[in-house]
Structure 1
Amino acid sequence: MALKCVCIGGCWKTHQSGAANFQPGNSGLIMNMRYDLEKCRKWECCYLGALAQKAANPIEDDKKPAVTGADSSGSITGVQENESKGLINLLPKPLSALDLSSSPSDGSKVQVAYQGQPGAYSEEAALKAFPNCEPVPFDEFEAAFRAVELWIVDKAILPIENSVNGSIHRNYDLLLRHRLHIVGEVQLQVDHCLLGLPGVRKEELNYVISHPQALAQCEGMLDDLGVTKVGSPDTAGAAQKVSLEGRRDTGAIASSRAAKLYGLDILKERIQDNDENITRFLILAREPIIPGTDGLYKTSIVFSLEAGPGLLFKALAVFSLRNIGLTKIESRPLKQCPLRIVDDSNEGSFKYFDYLFYIDFEASMADPRAQYALGHLQEYARFIRVLGCYPIHTSRNS
């Protein structure tokens, strides 16, 4: 009889197929596997032997190549350049994975890691979620994850999907690779601004620098200007580059906050093609929150399925049968062993992809319906992990 393993933040005990170990009742969350964090740390999941090495193996990078186009000539000198560099030198520098140490925070203020330079939209999201926090910039998403794991910062915030560009697959992969927990979400209205050096008019620009997604989201305005698009790792970094290089023919697409930080003029506001440009961010922490039954909660899980026809339909039906709404489903190829080989005496052998499925559903883990649904899902899944249960963010303006 096949063994199965279900994870919640850490892991649930391995047991025999079909013997779902859930006992919800009137007292709310009554499961043999409760939120016992000490036990969760001791139990480790087996993903057909493949995921045991996942934390030690690199994940493919999904970054897009930058578009080139501008040269480095035409820099201005003098007081304006020196003042800009002096201002930028006061800003915190993004850390890399090599910069991380094990020194704990003094706890005087919540420290929130984000990817990018000061002035990035992720920093805005951190300040929206925690108005009195200390945002800590990192040069990569991976470094932000590790900073939380090593107790350098208290939490991390990362973008997971955008209403225009869709899901950010890199961060889905990192959610599985690392053992952090989703403890919240925040939605941010993204308003792109065209920035330039003080006194420059937008008609003078020949080049515009920004993240490739920001360039794509403002394609209409950029085409009207007839400028060359230049890729950058992030929007705030593009604003910093324009400020440091001092080129009057080069602008940047970034936030209004970035304009203030780097001493640039806002040449035009809200330049995105789609006014309703919203990014959803996840808040990550070392420990899960204990969900309640009051208020609206969302639970995020990841699972893979056994072989067989109709299993994805059956897996999703376990939620519908209990009147639980799904708000998100995302599939990612299983990177450790993406191909499944099937032998058939009549057709020969062929290969097809194995997938991981990421699901968000509207129910608290304290809700017996969610417990029964996961117990039912276990009949079809080879692997289940609960990534987090957290309050639903109902408005991007709150």
Structure 2
Amino acid sequence: MALKADSIIFGCGVFTSPDLGTRPCLAGLSFRKDLKKLGKWECCCGVLGQRAITPVEDEKPLNPSTTVEPQFSGVQRTEHTGFHRDLNSLPKPLSASDLSLSRNGGSKVRVAYQGVPGSYSEDAALKAYPNCETVPCDGFEAAFKAVELWLVDRAVIPIENSVAGSIHRNYDLLLRHRLHIVGEVQLDVNHCLMGVPGIRKEDLKRVLSHPQALDQCEKKLSSLGLTRINTDDTAGAAQIVASECDRETGAVASARAAAIYGLNIIEERIQDDEDNITRFMILAREPIIPGTDRPYKTSIVFSLEEGPGVLFKALAAFALRDINLTKIESRPQRKRPLRIVDDSNKGSPKYFDYLFYIDFQTSMAAPEAQFALGHLQEFAGFLRVLGSYPMEGQ
């Protein structure tokens, strides 16, 4: 069930009062509007702060799915022949079911990502934190949990791709888990066709990769007449090809994956769209305290009460204050997807009840952002700030 919007759930750590000015608050924040004194806001880190623990949907985390080995004919798993790095020396991905409470005592920032070494997510983690220790996880859920259990300091999770669009699974996980967005990173995707050393593209009969990567390289792969076989991720495809040593099987993955697994790059940038960019979000247990010294982006999620033009009114809260919206995404509520207009349910129309995710280019430390969310609260049944963070490159 959606929370009633008598409070706004904030994780940004800043609130403004006409009496006190701008003050930081290190806890998750809720704001309550004093109806007797218009425009006065108070921090409610006690009782209302506890409400932030309850998600909008009453659902339990999904059980971690079992890993399914890719199945395809004509390729038998064999021991590697030594021309590539010893695969046994690579870190094994964490799973959601086997996360332990141990933690590395080193001083390096530990960053979780989904996939195996050489994945694009690991490339994004290294772009955000060049000297970090990357920790592979076998799924997005495991990466979220690794941060929550203090196994790692950050997680780098893809949220949208310029070709494939939004990654809806991660929008749902954002709502289910109590983590905060503390940054973003954009990665230029370079899909490479690769195989074992000494082969040419004419020798290949099949190619392995993630379904989206295969779709994004459809023209090139079709021109080569290759059979496309899905795997869990791009780097995992490179790992399989390296371990199989099959001269008729190639992979589509990153250049870094080829280097890690000892494969030769046959051709680079084989994607249909030259400009292929994936945007990743950086997650942490605690929010950062936003400032006004540089361009910031703020991400929120909310649901709306019933009424004509209510979405228009909600978005007008930002337009009236010259706040630029950079992203809007709608997702049906999973546990309460249908809203019934007439409680009698006799021939009455039903339609999806949505959650709206919005990114806007303003820091939560700015008064106009706080006033906009106060205005939005008048129409929202639920409102949560996912994070307020510096824009990439700022």
- For each residue in 1:182-211, what CA deviation from the matched residue of structure 2 results, as whole angstroms up to 9, or x when unmatched? 000000000010010000101110000000
Which TM-score applies when normalising by structure 2? 0.88
2: CA distance, partners of 1:248 / 1:274: 28
2:269 — aligned with what? 270
Distance 1:5 1:302, change over 3 A: same
User: Once the 2 structures are TM-superposed, how far is the Cα of residue 341 of structure 1 from its aligned partner?
Assistant: 1.0
Distance 1:245 1:363, change over 3 A: same
2:385 — aligned with what? 386
Is the contact made by 1:105 and 1:151 (CA closer than 8 Å) also made in structure 2?
Answer: no
Match of 1:12 among 30, 35, 39: 30
2: CA distance, partners of 1:121 / 1:324: 32
Structure 1: which amino acid aligns with 2:8? V
2: CA distance, partners of 1:133 / 1:242: 28
2:89 — aligned with what? 90
Is the contact made by 2:329 and 2:357 (CA closer than 8 Å) also made in structure 1?
Answer: yes
User: Once the 2 structures are TM-superposed, how far is the Cα of residue 6 of structure 1 from its aligned partner?
Assistant: 1.4
2: CA distance, partners of 1:333 / 1:228: 36
Is the contact made by 2:84 and 2:262 (CA closer than 8 Å) also made in structure 1?
Answer: no
2: CA distance, partners of 1:307 / 1:313: 12
User: Once the 2 structures are TM-superposed, how far is the Cα of residue 67 of structure 1 from its aligned partner?
Assistant: 9.0
**Matching of residues 339-378 of structure 1 within 5 Å:** 339-343=338-342, 348-378=347-377
User: Once the 2 structures are TM-superposed, how far is the Cα of residue 72 of structure 1 from its aligned partner?
Assistant: 2.7
User: Once the 2 structures are TM-superposed, how far is the Cα of residue 32 of structure 1 from its aligned partner?
Assistant: 1.9
**Matching of residues 218-257 of structure 1 within 5 Å:** 218-257=217-256
SS of aligned partner of 1:343: coil
Task: Choose between structure 1 and 2: higher helix proportion.
Answer: 1
Structure 2: which amino acid aligns with 1:43? Q
1: CA distance, partners of 2:145 / 2:280: 18
Is the contact made by 1:13 and 1:43 (CA closer than 8 Å) also made in structure 2?
Answer: no
Distance 1:84 1:147, change over 3 A: farther
Which TM-score applies when normalising by structure 1? 0.87
User: Once the 2 structures are TM-superposed, how far is the Cα of residue 261 of structure 1 from its aligned partner?
Assistant: 0.5
Distance 1:247 1:20, change over 3 A: farther
Match of 1:33 among 5, 26, 43: 43
2:23 — aligned with what? none
SS of aligned partner of 1:117: coil
2: CA distance, partners of 1:259 / 1:393: 27
SS of aligned partner of 2:125: helix
2: CA distance, partners of 1:14 / 1:319: 20
Distance 1:251 1:346, change over 3 A: closer
Is the contact made by 1:300 and 1:360 (CA closer than 8 Å) also made in structure 2?
Answer: yes
1:44 — aligned with what? 51
User: Once the 2 structures are TM-superposed, how far is the Cα of residue 106 of structure 1 from its aligned partner?
Assistant: 1.3
Distance 1:302 1:66, change over 3 A: farther
- For each residue in 1:27-79, what CA deviation from the matched residue of structure 2 results, as whole angstroms up to 9, or x when unmatched? xxxx5228x6xx499421497x963x33x243999xxx999654334x777xx
Distance 1:225 1:234, change over 3 A: same
Distance 1:181 1:376, change over 3 A: same
Structure 1: which amino acid aligns with 2:74? D
What is the Cα-based RMSD across aligned positions, in Å?
2.8
**Matching of residues 1-398 of structure 1 within 5 Å:** 4-9=6-11, 10-13=28-31, 23=40, 31-33=41-43, 39=46, 42-45=49-52, 51=57, 53-54=58-59, 56-58=60-62, 69-73=72-76, 81-83=80-82, 87-343=86-342, 348-394=347-393
Deviates more, 1:367-376 or 1:94-103: 94-103
Structure 1 unmatched ranges of 5 or more: 24-30
2:14 — aligned with what? none
SS of aligned partner of 1:4: coil
Aligned length, in residue pairs: 374
Structure 2 unmatched ranges of 5 or more: 12-27
| Percentage of matched positions with identical amino acids | 60
2: CA distance, partners of 1:310 / 1:279: 33
